[in-house]
Each structure stands twice: as C-alpha cells, then as structure tokens.
Structure 1
C-alpha cells in the first residue's frame, strides 16, 4: 500500500491455514481490508494466482533439472524465477513489464545471469590462515533482496557475495537460455536462432563434387556378354 500509494480494499485467497487464522483476521479488521476466500476445492475462483504459481513452479523445476542443483534449493529457484519474470514478461494490456508498471521506468537487465552459473566467491573469513584458500567454487542461485549482491551457493552454506561476478552485457545466446522456457507461453515463438549460411566457396565445392560423382557414374563401362565370341 505504501509503495504504490494505493489502498488495498479486498484480498482474495484460498482456505489455507496461512491465510485463514486469527492473526490475519485481526490485522485485516484493523486496517479495513475485506478478506475473501474461494470455495473449498475450487481453485478456479482464484485462477490468476493459481496460474501464476504454476508458472513459477514450472520455471523453478526447469531451472533445477537443467542445472542439476539439489532440490532443497527450490525456494531460491522460485525467488529467482519471480525476480526474472517481473523484469522480462510483457503485460499484453499495457505493453510493459510488471517492474515498469510499479516503478515507472524500464528495468535494467544487464546484471541478470543464468541460474547455476559458475562463480568464485571470495573467502574473507578471519580463520582461513596464511595457506588457506582465498576463494571457493560456487554457483549462482539468485539476487539479494536487501542489498546489491548476488546469492551464491557453495559447499558450506548460502552466502551473499557482492561483486564476485564481472558485470557485463549478456550475449544473445545467454538471454535465449535465460528466457527459453517463457517464449512459447508469452511470446508465441521460439528464441532467436542463428541461421548458418553456406559460404560461396564451400557451396561451389559441393556442386563440383556432385558433378564429378555424376560424371564417374555415367562413364562406367557397361559389361557385355563375351561368351558368344568364344570358339
């Protein structure tokens, strides 16, 4: 309400205990919000949220399977998918991304990276000793919500590692890999494909080879029946 400077009048949820409890009921009553709940076993009444949740879960599943990351990182994968889609999916009605609709400016996507990208977080602990490793091998799992940093998973724990990945403009292939799962659902097509053109020299060589093969085939002598000439 504060960020958008717009009052919330109605909130619609399902009948989950995380929504249907006394704490939320008292809060909604205190701020004047009407809490509506869909009918039991009728997710169609809350279709927008259900479809959005499915989109995030399918994206997270694809990210985890493609990267071969452990499944206990599912929450990180969903958070990263949500962060990325809020800055990439175009709303058909407004022709803008959700980020642009909320903040009034286009998002900066130059710092986006593919989930599970290899990175090397700096080991700045005080107990590493003189011969201890100054860095560790990890992979990218998301973006920090409260600081300008990336979230990196290593074999010890989840850590924030700011400035461990060199900031550069992503290539076209990296963007295709990043948004590949969303092209069919939201753009109705496939990511940009590189058309391979055959060089003229190579094309000429192929034609010459084909012609030579045809000539050889045509010049093969036809065997004759020589038994009639025997005496």
Structure 2
C-alpha cells in the first residue's frame, strides 16, 4: 500500500491557507479572488477555495493558487480564528484558547511542517477562519437574530446550505435582541374578575405592515386573547 504524505509549511508571512494542488480540496468553489506575489516577484491567480479534510480534521477556507509548489498554513489565519500558534526548537503547535493541541508539527531544517495524515483526532476538529464583524452581524440578522453559538454549530456541522464556513462572533450587543429580551414587571393578580363569560372581553394586537412577507405571503399579524379563558 502506498501512503501519500502531504506536508504543510507553517508560514507566518502567508495571509491565507493556500495550496497549488486542487485535488486536495473538498467542497471546492471556483471563484477568482485575486492574486498572490511570490518571493521571486512573480504573480499567480487565486482561482477558488475549498476545505482540506483528513480523517476527523478539517481545515476550512484554503485558497487554490495556480503554480504554487507548496502547501502553506497561514499563522495569521489561525490566529484570526482565535487559535494560538506556538513554535519550539523542534516542534510547532496549533492550539485552541483552552490550550488543547489541535495540530502538531516538526522542524525540517529551517521550516516547520505539519502532516495531518500522521495525526489522529479523537473527536472531529474543524479549524475555521474568523468572519468579519460585518459578515457576522449580516448572518445574525438573516437567521432571525440567532445566537452566535448556534450559528457556529450550524457551520461546523454543515446543517445549512449556503452558510459560509467561518467562525462567527459578536463584538457588541445587538440592540434588537437587547430590546426583545428586556424583562417587564409582572402584573398584579386581579381580586375581582372583570368578565364572567367567554368572548366578553378580548385583548387584540395588530402588527404590520411587515417589510418582508411570510412564506404564505402575509404581511400582518393579528393576536387575540380572551381575558376570561
């Protein structure tokens, strides 16, 4: 049996994870993103991105660069995803905020390399880059002001088609969520009932016109509460 070993160089000067081998990427999206400049002053096109999956470990959002002769892990992209990259004399580590080692590599001459095929994770590990603040709040609103922990679970478990694979976080409070979760003082119990039969006293509330219609095309909400029942 022939084992194909894929080495990734941990590069502090690389802005994004990138590879020159498109066959390594799953869920590939073909899209021209821009160009990168090599050390010899030559330029190459970034023609898409995908996920590098090896066993239980997934590295999300890896660029495909035509003509790139190496596979590069970006220290900056790891750090943007709230991960820590540590270097020692003979080893390097990618850790989460709790200090758990997610990826480990060794030093070959002057280069630190990681071979994920030699690693085994006891549980699925998904290393995602961090979304911008604008993108995070955009998906927070699109998903009906869903909390960011659940949004990240949807992304990690791939439960929503079309949701970009980023790590979403909040940098301030959502004013709409804050108003919606504000507590109100409870009403005192009535000692004397104000009605004696059903439909005698109704409380009604009409909400609308909504900017976006419901699935059935409705733009108003009418709520009726019977005081007696």
Q: Give the TM interval when normalised to the shorter protein.
A: under 0.3
- Structure with the higher fraction of residues in strand conformation: 2
Normalising by the residue count of structure 2, what TM-score does the alignment of the two structures yield?
0.22
Q: TM-score, normalised by structure 1?
A: 0.22
Between the two structures, name the one with larger relative contact order (CA 8 Å, sep ≥ 6).
Answer: 2
